[in-house]
A and B are shown apart, each in its own frame.
Chain A
Amino acid sequence: MLYREAGQFRTSYAEDQQIFPIRQDRIAITAFLLVAFIAVPLVANEYWLKAILIPFLIFSLAALGLNILTGYAGQLSLGTAGFMAVGAFAAYNFELRLEWMPILLSWILGGLAAALVGILFGLPSLRIKGFYLAVATLAAQFFIVWALTKFPWFSNYSSSGVITAGKIEILGYVFDSPIEKYLLVLTIVVLMALAAKNMVRSETGRAWMAVRDMDVAAEVVGIRMMHTKLLAFAVSSFYCGVAGALYAYAYIGTVEPEGFNLDLSFRILFMIIIGGVGSILGSFLGAAFIILFPIFLNAYADPFAHALGIDLPPGMTSNLELMIFGALIIFFLAVEPHGLARLWQIAKEKLRLWPFPH
């Protein structure tokens, strides 16, 4: 049986309002989770876990955060990496300065610190939109990196602001190996993605989208503009902040403020553009694409060119990468603003009717 919903009748609103009302989707997501939690740890080697899967999960979380703000609430932000930096440095300082602080709590507090900063830099959104707001978030990006470098207290007076994240210990258990870290990050990301999905299918998400689509009408139905926009900034920055803390603790280990520069903000923006603006799934697809594609290109561009009888000059693959990314971003912006997630949905719709399209 292919992808069909024939014969699946939803007899109550409760059934209709499940996250995955179609049975095949439920099976697919269950299978996916089983693979992620059980099969991957069994088969993945250290390189895959450390260099691909863990960063993929962390960037997905950051992309999800940005997608809440930009995709759902319609507020363009170039400050993503800045909010990640706040999360990383706040978690580091909570851990450092309060001995009793459990690591999970310090990550949550890192997220909350980022949320506060997000609200602060979200205030201009009450007066300005679009391009001008993007410039205001750009200011946030530069200000945060500057402040973290400028005031050595944040990095405990280490040279050039580098911090080294401590070990991850939860209830006496140390998460040391890549597999352990992977499973921990995976659990956090899955739970937060679920929470995001729940928010966007509730009143909170509808208010965000209403503000995005038509602000006057949103106010007239009683949606409070200030509350809704600032909540989007807070929740988005919380997600980015937690992603930043995980980036420091579970991925890189040693970070400096410059590691959270504008480049990173743009990379995450590209993830949601390619993956799908206003889609939870899209955040993951975009992150996967942007992380996997360069690896794929590195591995196969040279042999492929050889087979065609061309010799690529050294460094060509990284240029090729930039060119292809550029072209893809323009393609998605111009042709399919909802990204890979939308292409996937179209494919599903086709499949649902196949072989009798009407």
Chain B
Amino acid sequence: MTAQRQTGEPVLVVKDVSLSFGGVRALSNVSFDVREHEIRAIIGPNGAGKSSMLNVINGVYHPQVGTVTYRGVSRHRVNPHDAAAQGIARTFQNIALFKGMTVLDNIMTGRNLKTRTSFVEQAIWIGRARREELEQRRKVEEVIDFLEIQHVRKTPVGRLPYGLQKRVELARALAAEPSLLLLDEPMAGMNIEEKQDMCRFILDVNEQFGTTIVLIEHDMGVVMDLSDRVVVLDYGKMLADGTPDEVRANQAVIDAYLGVKH
């Protein structure tokens, strides 16, 4: 079943992106777009270049060729700070939380771009800094409630089980109130129940906040359920681009990916 969703104009356009590391071509000539309010999946076998694609979109990697256009701003080299300032948030395939900090503080970092007070005001605390901190906290508590992680608020993230850590990472991304959310295998390594929760959260984020989502996922069932359109990568090349049903019926995809892996 494919999600029924009202999607708008393309907001993210990836054009002719090629990226290589020394001799390894992680991406060759990749082009696709993502529409407003869409859930867009990227699939492909291991090493296909999926994570590299997300890293290019929010500026962790810089492609040798190609441009990324987000909401009218076209860039050859994105830097992560600018991407975040434009409303792009993400989670990582290998959880990238701040190990020495509590769940609450980790999520609060997601709001750093909304901070207006200077470090001097924060050092003095009384007044604007305190009000702002409370305001940030209120917003973060909304995210905490939304993702149902109230009970671990004050726990150092390192002590949480894997599934909860993934959820905290999503919370940190949501705290930024992003317009585009990049999720790198948000359900990897989870049990069925955790996967179902995560699916529900992703759909809710998309529905309630209108967030556009790009999602990398190996579980084909999840991809078919969640996404509007799917990009298929193989060895860094675009193999197919279309609705889940189209992609599933595509012979090249069946040969290269579905046929082999599933």
Contacts and interface: CB of A to CB of B under 8 A. Distances in A.
- Bound pair: A and B? yes
Given A13-B134, A217-B92, A210 B109 contact: yes
Contact of B109 (A17, A201, A223): A223
Contacts of B84: 220-222
A224 B119 CA distance: 14
Contact of B115 (A13, A14, A203): A203
A202 B98 contact: no
Given A203-B112, A222-B113, A214 B123 contact: no
Given A209-B100, A210-B109, 13 more contacts: A17-B137, A198-B122, A198-B123, A198-B125, A198-B129, A204-B119, A212-B98, A213-B97, A213-B99, A220-B96, A222-B176, A224-B81, A278-B100
B112 A17 contact: no
A14 B129 CA distance: 12
B137 A198 contact: no
A206 B123 contact: no
10 contacts: A13-B134, A198-B129, A202-B122, A202-B125, A209-B101, A209-B105, A218-B109, A219-B60, A221-B113, A223-B109
What are the 9 tightest A-B residue pairs by CB atom distance, in nearest-first order?
Answer: A222-B84, A202-B122, A213-B98, A217-B96, A198-B125, A195-B123, A219-B80, A222-B113, A203-B115
A56 B200 CA distance: 56
B172 interface: yes
Interface string B74-99: 00000011011100011010001111
A173 to B, nearest CB: 26
A155 B239 CA distance: 73
B212 interface: no
Contacts of B92: 217
B101 A206 contact: yes
Contacts of A202: 117, 119, 122, 125, 129, 133
A231 B119 contact: yes
A243 interface: no
B51 interface: no
A13 B137 contact: yes
Contact of A235 (B119, B129, B176): B119
A213 B105 contact: no
A51 interface: no
A203 B108 CA distance: 8
Contact of A17 (B60, B97, B133): B133
Given A13-B134, A198-B125, A219-B81, A213 B113 contact: no
A221 B129 contact: no
B138 interface: yes
B143 to A, nearest CB: 13
Contact of B110 (A216, A221, A235): A221
Contacts of B123: 195-196, 198-199, 204
A220 B58 contact: yes
A278 B111 CA distance: 22
Given A17-B134, A224-B81, A198 B97 contact: no
A212 B113 CA distance: 18
B124 interface: yes
A210 B98 contact: yes
A229 to B, nearest CB: 13
Nearest to A205: B122
Nearest to B110: A221
Given A206-B112, A221-B112, A214 B99 contact: yes
Contacts of B108: 203, 206
B112 A199 contact: no
A223 B112 contact: yes
Interface string B129-141: 1100110111001
Nearest to B58: A220
Interface string B52-86: 00000010100000000000000000001101110
A119 interface: no
Interface string A24-41: 000000000000000000
Contact of A214 (B98, B124, B133, B137): B98
B162 to A, nearest CB: 17
B122 A221 contact: no
A207 interface: yes
Contacts of B115: 203
Nearest to B125: A198
Nearest to B99: A213
Nearest to B88: A220
B21 to A, nearest CB: 16
Contact of A203 (B81, B98, B122, B138): B122
A206 B109 contact: yes
Nearest to B140: A13
B44 to A, nearest CB: 22
Contacts of A212: 98, 100
A219 B83 CA distance: 10
Contacts of A217: 92, 96-98
Contacts of B129: 198, 202
A199 B136 CA distance: 15
A202 to B, nearest CB: 4
B126 to A, nearest CB: 9
A221 B100 contact: no
Given A17-B137, A222-B176, A195 B124 contact: yes
B79 to A, nearest CB: 8
Contacts of B83: 220
Q: Which of B90, B96, B112, B137 has the most CB of A within 10 A?
A: B112
B90 to A, nearest CB: 6
A154 B96 CA distance: 48
Contacts of A216: 60, 96
